[in-house]
């Protein structure tokens, strides 16, 4: 079962699945397909590529020994770089008058990263599970309630992270909770969720 858990953990790493996810989102919200691909490129550059390259640099310089950064203390610098990159993308989206939904996505990313960075100074939290929780909420907003079929991915990925001893059950549950609250409140603020 460990092999299965490791495979799930790698497949659902944010840097892997963000490529198709951003493409699908941009193609859904932007009518002009060329413009959609351009927006997807911008989102992937700042949302995935820049943070991934920084982590790769740390790995190449032997500052970390695992691309998933299992040691809590080693996560701070990559999270700060990610915060800067997400913030830059959010600014670009506003300057270039990008799609409102992409602005909301990066607003969630910026706020979530601040929260997770603060938590990481004291405690380890599951970024895998927080990412997939955010994706499930996002897809339910975009494609409707039938995307609730994605919800089982959350406990499956949570099980995988616990199984390979990367996180405890509490770290997984807390990741789900923080991601859910942050995502729902910010999507509500942007008008994509009706709470009352």
The residue ranges of every structural domain in the chain are 2-189
Residue 196 confidence (pLDDT) above 70: no
Residue (of 50, 69, 44, 51) closest to 59 by Cα position: 69
Alpha-carbon distance of 13 to 95, in angstroms, equals 30
> Does residue 129 have a pLDDT over 80?
yes
Question: Residue 125's pLDDT is what?
Answer: 92
- Percentage of the chain beyond pLDDT 90 is 77
Rounded mean pLDDT, 111-139: 94
For 2-51, give the DSSP string.
Answer: HHHHHHHHHHT-HHHHHHHHHHHHHHHH-SSHHHHHHHHHHHHIIIIIHH
The least confident of 44-58, 62-76, 80-94, 99-113 is 62-76
Contacts of residue 188, defined as CB under 8 A and 6 or more positions apart, other chains included, come to: 194, 195
Could you tell me if 134 and 179 are in contact, meaning their C-beta atoms sit under 8 angstroms apart?
Answer: yes
Average predicted confidence (pLDDT) for the chain: 93
């Amino acid at each position: 079962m460990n092999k299965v858990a490791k495979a799930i953990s790698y497949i659902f790493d944010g840097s892997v699945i963000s490529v198709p996810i951003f493409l699908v989102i941009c193609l859904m919200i932007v009518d002009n397909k060329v413009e959609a691909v351009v927006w997807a490129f911008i989102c992937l550059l700042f949302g995935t590529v820049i943070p991934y390259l920084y982590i790769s640099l740390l790995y190449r310089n032997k500052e970390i020994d695992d691309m998933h950064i299992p040691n809590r203390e080693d996560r701070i610098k990559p999270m700060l770089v990610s915060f800067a990159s997400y913030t830059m993308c959010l600014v670009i989206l506003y300057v270039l008058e990008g799609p409102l939904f992409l602005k909301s996505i990066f607003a969630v990313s910026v706020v979530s990263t601040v929260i997770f960075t603060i938590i990481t100074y004291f405690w380890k939290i599951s970024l895998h599970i927080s990412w997939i929780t955010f994706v499930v909420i996002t897809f339910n907003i975009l494609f409707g309630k039938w995307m609730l079929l994605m919800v089982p991915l959350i406990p499956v990925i949570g099980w995988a992270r616990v199984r390979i001893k990367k996180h405890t059950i509490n770290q997984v549950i807390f990741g789900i909770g923080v991601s859910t609250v942050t995502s729902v409140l910010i999507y509500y603020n942007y008008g994509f969720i009706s709470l009352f």
